[in-house]
Amino acid sequence: MMTFTLSENPELYPIAGFTVTPQAPHTFAFTDLSVNTTAWLWDFGDGNTSTDQHPVHTYATDGTFTVLLTAKRGSCNDTASVALVNVGIEELSGSVHIGLAPNPAGAVLRITSSHAMEEIRLLDLAGRTISSIVPAARTREFELRTDGMPGGLYVLEVTATGVKGRKTFVRASW
């Protein structure tokens, strides 16, 4: 009599993950962070798909799109998704230079500015204000709590004396 023991090897299951980086108002670069993956299927939510590991996609219209990555290995797969509101807000070319770290943001986004910040506004990509913060003291550094925000793309607008600057960032969904 022969006995066979079958066991699953969880190290071989694919785990989907990715980041999104805005390239232009309607163009986004997707960076695969999946592990144990041998094939990728991206659904950009606008009827287009890709099997590239790190695709770049341009949307033809404004709107809200849910991007879905299916990471595959053999007959196993895992999915990750993020909702993008893609309207095409441009970064301002004013004289306020903004640094954001980390991007994608986790629980906290560190903001640095070339000018003392008078107001910090968080916008969706349609340009609608999500929140507005007036720092207690004019400062060039500020930490924004993002742990209560859903994953997606956002715009940060900094106002200093008579000038503004905008920078796009990603709130991670993991």
pLDDT score for 94: 56
Model confidence pLDDT, tens digit, residues 90-144: 555 556 888 888 888 989 999 998 889 999 999 887 788 999 999 888 889 999 9
User: Do 107 and 78 have their domain in common?
Assistant: no
Model confidence pLDDT, tens digit, residues 12-28: 788 888 888 777 777 88
Residue with tokens 């003291």: 137
- On whether the pTM is more than 0.85, the answer is no
Q: Which residues have CB under 8 Å from 43's CB, separation 6+?
A: 49, 67, 68, 69, 70
Domain boundary among 55, 86, 117: 86
Whether the CB-CB separation of 33 and 19 falls below 8 Å is answered with yes
Domain membership flag for residue 2: no
pLDDT score for 2: 59
- Containing domain of residue 82, as a range? 12-86
Model confidence pLDDT, tens digit, residues 149-160: 888 888 899 998
Domain membership flag for residue 161: yes
User: Do 103 and 166 have their domain in common?
Assistant: yes
**104 vs 136: CA distance, rounded Å:** 26
Model confidence pLDDT, tens digit, residues 38-85: 999 999 988 999 999 999 998 887 777 888 999 999 989 988 887 765
Domain membership flag for residue 113: yes
User: Do 120 and 163 have their domain in common?
Assistant: yes
Q: Which of 3-7, 33-37, 121-125, 166-170 has the lowest mean pLDDT?
A: 3-7
Report DSSP letters for 111-148, one per residue. Answer: EEEEEEESEEEEE-TTS-EEEEE--SS-EEEEEEE-TT
**55 vs 148: CA distance, rounded Å:** 29
